[in-house]
Amino acid sequence: MEIYLLKSALALSVLYAFFWLFLRNETYFGWNRIYLIASLLVSLLFPLSRISLFQSVQQSISYIASPIVINTFSNANAFSDKGSLSILSIIYISGAVFFSLRFLSRLSQIYYLYRRFPKVKYNGFKAVILDGDHSPFTFFSILFLSRTDYEDGKLAEMIVHEKAHRDQFHTLDILLLECMTIIQWFNPSLWLFRIAIKSEHEFIADEKVLKEGFDMVSYQKLLFEKSLGVATLGVTSNFNYSLLKNRLKMMTIKKSGSTAIVKYLFSLPLLLSLGLFLSTNLKVLGQEKVYLEVEKMPQYKNGAVDVREDVAKNMKYPESAAELGVQGCVWVQFVVSDKGKVKDVKVLKTIIKDKDKSGKIVEKDFVPTGDARIDQAYKDIENESIRVVKLLGDFTPGEEKGKKVNVQFTFPITFVLK
């Protein structure tokens, strides 16, 4: 999870820097919006994929071939790691929960307004007529406006503006932003993206109004008047928007020429190359060559038996797994570096025994069941396996042609209830 957040945050920062340097003052508002949304999607989705570069897909079945068997009676006094969360994890989760609740609260406010107040057909909208002094706003194809504005009937510019929000599906962008905020709430670049995307929404809608032939001065006066309205709900396309100064500037700025298209062409390889980078394991790219077999294999104390003994000595059957009867064989991979240190410890797979359709007991790879407790129990035995392997002492480094090298090992740790 940490690697995903790091990659995503890095991508947002790089992509926003490109926008700020080259695109923010261009009047191709629609292209700016596409770039910004594409940037969010790249940073959200590509870190989830995995492309292995410069690494053989072959896995070594190491000379430590005998499984290490752990049961509930193995070293009962050993240290028990209950998966306590770090302070940073607690802070991150607390922030994610807060912004999730804020998002749900705003959606519930819109639902309340929709259910509470009368609805009418108005200029192609399903309009909700609100009591009080509200600035007009849209949520998907639903228009919310104050009773005063509705009765006065002076809504021509506002209707064109809100239709632009509706027809451009700006609500989808806002919902994506809210989801990204839950994940990346700690990242300053994400908050800059929020401002930029909402600004482009307003620039697009303002441009539509002026293209319809409405007087610019009158429209700007109307914007000032409506800027005194209530605050936005945050998940709506809203006629009132705080960055009024920039909106007025963009109405009068000289339109970008055709040469600006070159900047957008440059953004495409940036997005693609960054997407490839995010899909690639960062460790693999910077890793020295790792051997699966060498002339002189790494040696741990007096041999493989000592590895098994040290792992078993430090291992504790996770309570969550023992309580639910969870058993399995965890295949752990690690690298013994040219300095003899254990590094890059990870779980390749977890094998469990289960019944097939005929009722026969078969071994198969574990896949999440959807039961949170069961899935967490399997995660706990995997985490425990990683933890104890990291506790191994130094090896005598392996050698190839007289040179000390990195060597990869793989071995199973079997968790059995007795």
Q: For residue 70, what are its two tokens?
A: 């752990």
Share of the chain above pLDDT 70, in %: 84
The domain locations on the chain are 2-51+85-279, 68-78+290-415
Which residues pair with residue 143 across a beta bridge?
127, 138
The angle, 0 to 180 degrees and rounded to 10, between the axes of the packed helices 170-184 and 29-45 is: 40
194 pLDDT tier (thresholds 50, 70, 90): very high
pLDDT digits (tens, 9 = 90+) for 325-341: 888 899 999 999 999 99
pLDDT at site 50: 54
Residue 98 scores a pLDDT above 50: yes
pLDDT digits (tens, 9 = 90+) for 109-161: 999 999 999 999 998 899 999 998 778 899 999 999 989 888 887 789 989 99
Residue 62 scores a pLDDT above 50: no
Average the pLDDT over 252-270 and give the result.
90
Q: What is the mean pLDDT of the chain?
A: 84
Q: For residue 79, what are its two tokens?
A: 């240290």
Query: What is the reported pTM?
Result: 0.63
Share of the chain above pLDDT 90, in %: 48
pLDDT at site 71: 63
Average the pLDDT over 220-246 and give the result.
68
Lowest mean pLDDT among 26-35, 97-106, 282-291: 282-291
180 pLDDT tier (thresholds 50, 70, 90): very high
232 pLDDT tier (thresholds 50, 70, 90): low
